[in-house]
Amino acid sequence: MENAQKHPSPAVREAVGVFDDIGAIHDCVDELQSQGFDRSDITMLARDQVVGSKSLLPIEDTLQTEDSPSALRGPVIEPESVGDAKGALLGAPIYILTLACAGVSAAFGLSTVMLLIVSAIGGLIGAGIGLILMNIVDKRQTGYYDRQLEHGGIPLWIHTRDPDHEQRAIDILMHNRARDVHIHDLDGLPYEVQDGRTTVYKIIH
């Protein structure tokens, strides 16, 4: 039986651009999806990569991070999803504490007026807890973007399949005011850095 020949896997190619405006990123993602790009092919820096942790080095320079195969990627979080999460964080404590207070009041045989008063107090406490949780989400989200802006900008990666796909990604990135727009290959190895810039750049089709 003849040994099967192993062929090298084709290089993974991506379009990448750097943004200085959060709104422009979401406009770009919306346009990419409207032009047939799959959401899973559009990534940003993973949150842990940005905020740092014991096992990960925090980002230092976006100009190096944007072309680094070792940069951890994560999905783009839509503003609507953040809004939904914040709404749930506000509503859940109000609902739970209101019902809990009503149940306790009923168990102790309090009058209807007292039951309503205690339930209202529980709802107010729940609202306070919800606002605190919403504030935490806001700070985490704002900090995620602000830290990247402080280090040179917010990179957005788009996995591309062919030259036509690459050109469409480039056009959309530039249309949405991305800078440093280019195509690169990912081969799993860190790229050489010269004068603070990587040597990965390819001629745009």
Which segments of the chain does DSSP mark as H helices, in order? Answer: 22-34, 47-51, 62-65, 79-107, 112-150, 163-175
* Residue 190 pLDDT: 45
- Residue 56 — very low, low, confident or very high, per pLDDT cuts 50/70/90? very low
Domain count of the fold of the chain: 2
Same domain, 125 and 182: no
Same domain, 72 and 154: yes
Q: Which domain holds residue 46?
A: 12-78+149-198
- Residue 167 — very low, low, confident or very high, per pLDDT cuts 50/70/90? very high
* Residue 104 pLDDT: 80
Cβ atoms of residues 26 and 118 within 8 Å:
no
4 within a domain of the structure (yes/no): no
pLDDT at 156 over 90: yes
Same domain, 19 and 106: no
49 within a domain of the structure (yes/no): yes
Identify the residue with better confidence: 101 or 3: 101
* Highest-scoring range by mean pLDDT, 32-41, 114-123, 130-139: 32-41
What percent of the chain shows pLDDT beyond 90? 19
Same domain, 24 and 114: no
Same domain, 73 and 153: yes
Domain's final residue, options 140, 164, 182:
140
What percent of the chain shows pLDDT beyond 70? 73
